[in-house]
């Protein structure tokens, strides 16, 4: 399931992130990649323990907390603090699959990476190339979103970032361990959640149909959730 989440950050938050990252110390992105990914990866990153990464990561985590669509799509149990990357002209990231298990910094615990997220911090008009291409059973999907928007997709997906031919593409990226490990089950719950929202809008929250659908949603979540 690939979901476009609109307006995760406000224009003011985007401007703040850009200004803080402008002054950041960027390093070779291969320092955080595994052996296979490092051979395909050509970008820059802010070190995960840099003060600016922690500050902006907390800002984004707060924004995720208020994002109903993100929580409906990912059903997060744990969220890795966001990291920040940058692709300049000639940079890209070849086809790869994200690592399955991540260590949460300063927490001393591991988490399973079920859901990948990329939050765009650069407007599409400011660069050429740089599409995030995600492959699934329906083919390849090229993603290039407005600043402040985010794409959420299964971490099991083969994906790549096309080379930049003009400008620079900046983004935040992170992984979530979902309460629902299986992507197919997550997709069913997401569709059901959207259906409940539609029924409530057309009828009322206490309409018998809305109550029945909501009960089914929570009973499926109860059956499938891993905590």
Residues annotated within the binding site for Fe cation are: 96, 98, 159
Q: Residues forming the annotated binding site for 2-oxoglutarate? A: 169
Residues forming beta bridges with residue 5, ordered by sequence position: 150
Q: Which two tokens stand for residue 14?
A: 């985007």
Q: CA–CA separation, 80 vs 22, rounded Å?
A: 23
Which token pair is 31? 């320092």
Residues at the annotated binding site?
A: 96, 98, 159, 169
Buried b (16+ CB within 10 A) or exposed e, 95-132: ebbbeeebeeeeeeeebbbbbbbbbbbbebeebbbbbb
How many CA atoms lie less than 13 Å away from 177 in the CB half-sphere? 17
**Sheet architecture: strand order including 41-42:** 41-42, 92-96, 159-161, 132-136, 139-143
97 backbone φψ class: left, alpha, beta (φ>0; ψ -120 to 50): beta
- The DSSP string of 196-225 is HHHHHHHS-TTSHHHHHHHHHHHHHHHHH-
């Amino acid at each position: 399931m690939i979901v476009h989440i609109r307006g995760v950050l406000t224009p003011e938050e985007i401007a703040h992130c850009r200004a803080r990252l402008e002054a950041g110390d960027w390093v070779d992105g291969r320092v955080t990649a595994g052996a296979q990914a490092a051979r395909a990866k050509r970008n820059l990153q802010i070190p995960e323990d840099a003060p600016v990464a922690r500050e902006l990561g907390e800002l984004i985590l707060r924004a995720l907390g208020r994002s109903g669509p993100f929580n409906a799509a990912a059903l997060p149990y744990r969220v890795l603090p966001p990291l920040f990357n940058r692709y300049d002209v000639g940079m890209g990231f070849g086809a790869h699959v994200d690592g399955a298990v991540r260590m949460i910094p300063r927490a001393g615990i591991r988490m399973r990476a079920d859901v990948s997220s990329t939050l765009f911090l650069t407007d599409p008009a400011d660069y050429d190339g740089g599409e995030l291409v995600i492959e699934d059973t329906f083919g390849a999907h090229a993603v290039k979103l407005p600043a402040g928007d985010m794409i959420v997709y299964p971490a099991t997906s083969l994906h790549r970032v096309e080379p930049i031919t003009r400008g620079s593409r900046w983004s935040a990226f992170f992984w979530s361990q979902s309460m629902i490990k299986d992507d197919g089950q997550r997709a069913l719950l997401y569709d059901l959640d959207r259906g409940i929202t539609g029924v409530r809008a057309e009828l009322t929250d206490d309409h018998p149909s809305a109550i029945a659908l909501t009960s089914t949603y929570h009973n499926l979540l109860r059956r499938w959730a891993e905590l």
